[in-house]
Structure 1
Amino acid sequence: MKPILSLAALFLVTPLAETIAYDLQGGETLLRTFEAHATYERSGIEIEVDGEELPDVEAPDLTMDSLERVVVRDEIGEAEGGQPTDFRRTFEELVQETSYESEDEEAEFVSGSDLEGITVRFLWDDEDETYYAELTDEDDDVDADTLEWLTADMDLAGFLPEGEVEEGESWDIDARPYLSLMWPSGLVGWYDTENEEGPSEFGIEQDRLIVENLEGEGTVTFQGVEEEEGLRLALLWVELEVSTEASGSPRDGLEVEVEMERAIEGTIRWDLTHGHLYDADLETDSEWSRTEVFPIEDEDGAEHEVRQTESQEGTIRYIASVERE
């Protein structure tokens, strides 16, 4: 009898393994909402002339506050093994609201995207193991380059484990999953809708370089399962550090370099009942700098190189949710 009792006790204390993965079916419709609320303060300004730093440069106070909101509706046409292979995504809402405040000036900007109101079809390619996007209406004015930089994943699937995991188990991730928070559904072509006719070539180039140069590493820990409204939700704790940079020239005589570092932590809740993201809430500490390099002439006509760097520090809160329709 003793071996039987021992086995029973072992069974009672052994953690149950969970498979945290897609389990979507054709015919389902999901409304996805992503928000990013960022606040920044200027932390410093450095100016160099011909390689020599100017002393006692004071940085005027500057604060920035922004809210980005992305809402899409995904209609699943076909799925295989729980993963969507053919679905339509309608961009219901794409808006960024940004305000700046300094000692003697205030400014507000609203950015949008030409994709708002557009429906895009995502098709899975088994051979390339990736999704390709195409327009459902040929008359929609969206160029092929924009479609190429869209991403299908808005379930934060890059944070998921491979295979079964037990409560308390952790796994490593690289920087790539962060892109689904930083740019939900990819590079949608944000631009100032009040002052511009469309995204600038320089802005597009900078965003793509930031994606390509992203580096970092982190861990995800499975913290167990909780029940809410009849659903079983897997709790995933994320800790991730990333960095990236971009450089280019928006016009003759001006070179721009951008660097950023971010530390992200927070919780993702995965709907085990239906096999997709339920919600997420993550906080980010962010440092950002922009360097401009340009020539100037002094009163004698001699040319000098100026290198001016502005630094900012702040936080970003990412909130995501998925509703079944």
Structure 2
Amino acid sequence: MMNLHVGSHLLPTLRMRPLCVAAFALTCLGPAPESVPPPMFLPGADLQIERVYTWRETSATTSAEILLDGEKTQDVPTVTSELKSEASLSVVDTFFRSDVNRPLHLRRMFEDIAYESSGNLRLDMGAGVAELAISCDGDSELDGAAVEFLWDDDSEAYVKKFAEDYDGDDDLLEGLDPDGDFIALLPVPDRDIEVGSSWKVEASALRRVLLPGGRLPMERESDMDAVDGAFDPLVMPGVMETLDGDASGGMSVRLVSAEDGTMTLELLVEVEFVSDQAEAVGDMLGTVAPEDVDVELESATYTSTLEGKGTLVWDTLNHFARSFRLDLETGLDVQIAVHVEGMGIDAPFELKEKREGTLRLDMERL
């Protein structure tokens, strides 16, 4: 017969075991993550910030071929290239009024805008190979200019104009955007987040991330003017020219840390852009085709892939981006189809090129 006296002493101990196990598990897991207000863009009135953005890109042909009526041909030279480029933008932003995650009145002074690239072209003509070293420099008419952005509630768009002390062509303002803080990466501002939490960002937002301040009007001069028009964009296309295309894939952002007035966010990127470049390629063909040759463009498609990660450091006391770095591995697939008639030829041509490279974007506050 069971000893009921002994069993009655064991029963409380048995009941306590689940509680002990739960307490041990909580001790091992540590305290629950602390909720913190989300990072948001909301700089104080009249705050002035000086920042510099730097882009570094490398790109090289991995394969290239020209098909005549569907077959490889040596009648037209195959062109491959290696290219590296660097662009920089220094600005001074003065925020007069802002709303959550939106500047309402901003004055941007373009302190310095610069671009330079260098590389090598290789022309395989079947019977021989020619190699050419090239370089290119660029600048912008916005260098030294001041531009104001004012948000208009009725049109839900920005009114852009040159500051009173600068007289410029309004066409230069067309591609500009006031966001220089990578606002597209921020979470929704109406709920707290925890360290370790993450959120999704749509793929198309990568163009805003890679073009802080918008697309600047640039004028480029090559040391080989005779071939510059003929080989751009056929030989040296870059992923930055594809960002207006259809985007797929996505990005994710994770809050890594939140302490001492700063938040560190980690960005993961896996995005593809498919861009119709018929207008740009068509304009180029119109300038380089011989007068007695009729070249009809049928299609020009650039497909770029961008994969990598970045870090955004956010000032949670003054509510703006303190620094940013993004490192990407890039790929580019160029497909161009034309029909050529003249000089004894009446046939379709196809140009196919694949490129691989890297792209780095840095931003730091001065």
State the TM bucket, normalised to the shorter chain: 0.7 to 0.9
Structure 1 position 293, deviation (Å): 3.3
- Once the two structures are superposed, residues 229-254 of structure 1 have per-residue CA deviations (whole angstroms, 9 ceiling, x without a partner) of xxx22111111222231222114426
1:240 aligns with 269
- Once the two structures are superposed, residues 190-222 of structure 1 have per-residue CA deviations (whole angstroms, 9 ceiling, x without a partner) of 2214689xxx9x99xx98874253443121111
Aligned length: 305
Alignment partner of 1:224 is 2:227: no
Alignment partner of 1:191 is 2:219: yes
Structure 1 position 102, deviation (Å): 4.5
- In structure 2, distance between residues paired with 1:283 and 1:123: 32
Q: When you count helix as a share of all residues, which structure comes out higher?
A: 2
SS at match of 1:19: coil
2:86 aligns with 67
Q: Of the candidates 108, 116, 120, which is equivalent to residue 97 of structure 1?
A: 116
Structure 1 position 260, deviation (Å): 1.4
SS at match of 1:181: helix
SS at match of 1:105: strand
- In structure 2, distance between residues paired with 1:106 and 1:119: 37
2:180 aligns with 154
Correspondences of 1:130-279 after superposition (within 5 Å): 130-137=157-164, 140-144=167-171, 146-163=172-189, 164-193=192-221, 210-227=243-260, 232-242=261-271, 243-248=273-278, 249-250=282-283, 251-252=285-286, 253=295, 255=297, 256-279=300-323
Are 2:264 and 2:313, in contact at CA under 8 Å, matched by a contact in 1? yes
- In structure 2, distance between residues paired with 1:76 and 1:193: 35
- Once the two structures are superposed, residues 60-117 of structure 1 have per-residue CA deviations (whole angstroms, 9 ceiling, x without a partner) of 7632111111111111122345853111111111111110124632111011221111
Are 2:337 and 2:348, in contact at CA under 8 Å, matched by a contact in 1? yes
SS at match of 1:179: helix
1:119 aligns with 146
- In structure 1, distance between residues paired with 2:198 and 2:180: 22
- In structure 2, distance between residues paired with 1:220 and 1:262: 16
- In structure 1, distance between residues paired with 2:242 and 2:325: 27
Unaligned runs of 5+ in 2: 1-22, 123-130, 234-238, 287-294
Are 1:132 and 1:148, in contact at CA under 8 Å, matched by a contact in 2? no
Paired letter, 2:148: R
- In structure 2, distance between residues paired with 1:298 and 1:142: 42
- In structure 2, distance between residues paired with 1:63 and 1:78: 45
2:18 aligns with none
Q: Structure 2 vs 1, CA of residues 128 and 264 (structure 1 numbering), >3 Å: closer, same or farther?
A: farther
Q: Of the candidates 30, 34, 37, which is equivalent to residue 49 of structure 2?
A: 30
- When the two structures are superposed, what TM-score results if normalisation uses the length of structure 1? 0.82
- In structure 2, distance between residues paired with 1:13 and 1:302: 73
- In structure 2, distance between residues paired with 1:321 and 1:120: 21
Unaligned runs of 5+ in 1: 1-5
Are 2:256 and 2:264, in contact at CA under 8 Å, matched by a contact in 1? yes
- In structure 1, distance between residues paired with 2:362 and 2:345: 53
Q: Structure 2 vs 1, CA of residues 317 and 216 (structure 1 numbering), >3 Å: closer, same or farther?
A: same
- In structure 2, distance between residues paired with 1:215 and 1:322: 32
- When the two structures are superposed, what TM-score results if normalisation uses the length of structure 2? 0.73
After alignment, is 242-251 or 19-28 more displaced?
Answer: 242-251
Structure 1 position 177, deviation (Å): 2.7
Q: Structure 2 vs 1, CA of residues 14 and 236 (structure 1 numbering), >3 Å: closer, same or farther?
A: closer
Are 1:262 and 1:286, in contact at CA under 8 Å, matched by a contact in 2? yes
- In structure 2, distance between residues paired with 1:31 and 1:194: 31
SS at match of 1:176: helix
Q: Structure 2 vs 1, CA of residues 67 and 318 (structure 1 numbering), >3 Å: closer, same or farther?
A: same
Q: Of the candidates 340, 350, 357, which is equivalent to residue 314 of structure 1?
A: 357
Paired letter, 2:327: E
Structure 1 position 297, deviation (Å): 5.5
After alignment, is 46-55 or 308-317 more displaced?
Answer: 46-55
Q: Of the candidates 285, 289, 292, which is equivalent to residue 333 of structure 2?
A: 289
Q: Structure 2 vs 1, CA of residues 209 and 261 (structure 1 numbering), >3 Å: closer, same or farther?
A: closer
- In structure 1, distance between residues paired with 2:296 and 2:88: 32
